[in-house]
Structure 1
Amino acid sequence: RAPGRPGGRAAAQDGADAWYRRKLARRIVALLACVALWLLLSYAAISTAAGQVLDTLLMEATMRATGRLVSFTSVVTGVVSVPAMVVAGVVVALVAVARKRPTLAGRALGMVIGANVTTQLLKDMISRPDLGMTTGISNSLPSGHSTVAVTLSLALVAIAPQWLRAPSAWIGWAWTSLMGVSVMMAGWHRPADVVVAVLIAGAWALALSPIERRARHGKRVSKVMLWAVLAAGALAFSLTLVGLWGFSMSAGAPGSGYGFNDFLSVRPWRSLVLGMGACAWIVAVVGAVVREVDLLADDSRSA
């Protein structure tokens, strides 16, 4: 029947309802996945010997491989400050208001505030037990700098008009990944600190970002992002596996660097391989989270 007839309108409404149910189910699954991975990774990285070893080894390898870039990391991490957060928050609110979407501004600011408060509370509540495997045992999970970067990026994705949403997703992915890698290069945070921060922000964004059915520019770009995320994940897994080949839990030597200086010095190539693997893990997780939030607003049947 023609869309203008009652039967056509009913069919269109049924299609819209089915589309919304699919989007809602995807949102819920992604949200639960973020929370589950956040809890599991936090436990593994803090409370298990293997987790502490792998997490610290990846950070120390990254530091050794990028030692000449310390000044660059200082510039990147220096961008995150209270005044910068206030300015970014105002920009987010103004963009939403300019689009005549004040409720959307509230949602965006809510995800920024909620995720950052969650991060600070967890950092104060979590204690890192000394399992005798590494030095530098104080807890640093989750990463506050990474939380700020990813929440502002996700907020911009949520409020962006249709023509700017895909570019915002890519820029946010690059910016957050750069911040996550920088705090690891500087020795401020282990990889798990960054990944957990991204998952916390992702959970808040998935909970508060609206589901909208609207035409999108750059649908093919979203497909490219999916393949880029999968490629980064595969690269991260492969590099980590190669770098850990022949590794033993007894390789740690508390008092020597962060515990693995001697192990990494024997075969210097391990630092580069493991460092690249750690960076690839961060890029993959950030990309996956940004993409899920981005896809809450489109008119396609599938991602």
Structure 2
Amino acid sequence: MTVTNAMPQNRTLTRAVLVTVTFVTVAAGVFVAAVWTSPGQTVDQLFYNVSRDLAPIGDIPEFASYNVLASPLVWAAVALGVVALVGCRRFVGTWSLRHAAISAGSLLVFMPVMAYGAGFLRDHVLPRPQLHEWITQTSNSAPSGHAAAAAAFVVVLVRAAHPILRLPIAVVGGTWAAIADFGLVADGWHRPSDVIISTLLVVGIGALLPDPWRGHESRSPVWVAWAAGVLIIASATAFAMSYYSAPAQLITAVVIATVIAAALMIADLVTRGGRLESAR
């Protein structure tokens, strides 16, 4: 590795660290505002109450249900997808088995660490003060382990894919994650802030994951990334509102989808690296 080749990598790593620090800081800010302040608890709980009090007008398709997040088959499928996508690196340019193994291993470990780590934070680290007597759900529910798993699935699949495939995978995965996260709120499992915090934490920390396609530039222009974000918001909101029609539910769905779309697109844009002369 020459000094010239190392410079773009150093800049990419610096940007990735900045993304992680920023996203974790914003997630902490959301937690403080929504959990530790009286107005925050009021707004968060009101949207939660409205969203869960209205039943869907039809049966939610199983693929869009948050229940799939607990399925071992889904976890296995995502893991196999990661391995297959990283394995494609062998057919494009230089190939380092060691780097591929480290990348794939990191991506596979990332999923359970994020899901169970969110649960550990929720149950053993982060307290929730009772600031309103009318809020009967006094236990802490942030961050959401299910939402963390959904975000982790999308992050690892996007990271494992060739740069030219990352935005399409982000659109499909981000839309699915937004729908599943809204379902967690609509069915009364989590407050809106819970899934937002999980998304910010997972996408932010995911920016530090090793890139198996290091040395391959992203070919999509910046405006395509923002268009992909808009598509995530529009698709997830349209799907959610075909089953839930209350204004508060619409706002909740839009906010969740917007956070997921913005997080994925910002992480993609900021952590893009230039083409290296050599990936050895």
Give the TM-score, by structure 2 length.
Answer: 0.77
Shift in Å at residue 18 of structure 1? 6.0
Per the alignment, residue 90 of structure 1 pairs with 80
Equivalence for 2:114: 115
2:24 matched residue in structure 1: 35
Quote the residue 1:51 is aligned against. 40
Residues 99 and 213 of structure 1, relative CA distance in 2, 3 Å threshold: closer
2:105 is matched with 106
Contact 1:166 1:217 in 2 (8 A): no
Three-state SS of the structure 2 residue aligned to 1:28 is helix
* 1:134-145 mapped onto 2 (5 Å cutoff): 134-145=135-146
Q: Matched residues in 1 for 2:201 and 2:110: separation? A: 10
1:203 aligns with 2:204: yes
Report deviation, 1:176. Answer: 1.0
- Within a 5 Å distance, the mapping from 1:160-179 to structure 2 comes to 160-179=161-180
1:42·1:196 contact (CA, 8 Å) conserved in 2? yes
SS at the partner of 1:99?
A: helix
Instruction: Indicate the residue corresponding to 2:256 in structure 1.
Output: 282
Aligned residue pair count: 249
* TM-score normalised by structure 1 residue count: 0.72
Instruction: Please list every run of 5 or more consecutive structure 1 residues that lacks an aligned counterpart in the other structure.
Output: 1-9, 236-270
- Note if contact 2:154-2:173 (Cα within 8 Å) is conserved in structure 1: yes
- What displacement does 1:181 show? 0.9
Aligned to 1:158: 159
Q: How many Å apart are 1:155 and its aligned residue?
A: 0.2
- The reply on whether 1:71 has 2:51 as its aligned counterpart is no
Work out whether residues 118 and 145 of structure 2, in 8 Å CA contact, stay in contact via their aligned partners in 1. Answer: yes
The letter for the 2-side match of 1:223 is W
2:184 alignment counterpart: 183
The whole-number CA distance in structure 1 between the counterparts of 2:138 and 2:147 is 20
**Do the aligned partners of 2:171 and 2:229 also contact (CA within 8 Å) in 1?**
no
Q: Tell me, which stretches of 5 or more residues in structure 2 are unaligned?
A: 91-99, 238-244, 276-280
Encode CA deviations 1:41-71: one digit per residue, 9 max, x unaligned. Answer: 222222222121111111122234x522473
Counterpart secondary structure, 2:175: helix
Residue in structure 1 matched with residue 12 of structure 2 by the alignment = 23
Please provide the CA RMSD for this pair.
2.9
- Is residue 44–residue 51 contact of structure 1 (8 Å, CA) maintained in 2? yes
- d(CA) in 1 for partners of 2:210, 2:267: 7
Once the two structures are TM-superposed, the CA of residue 164 in structure 1 deviates from its matched residue by 1.7
Please say if residues 174 and 261 of structure 2, whose CA atoms lie closer than 8 Å, have aligned partners that are also in contact: yes
Q: Percent identity?
A: 23
Report how far residue 152 of structure 1 moved: 0.7
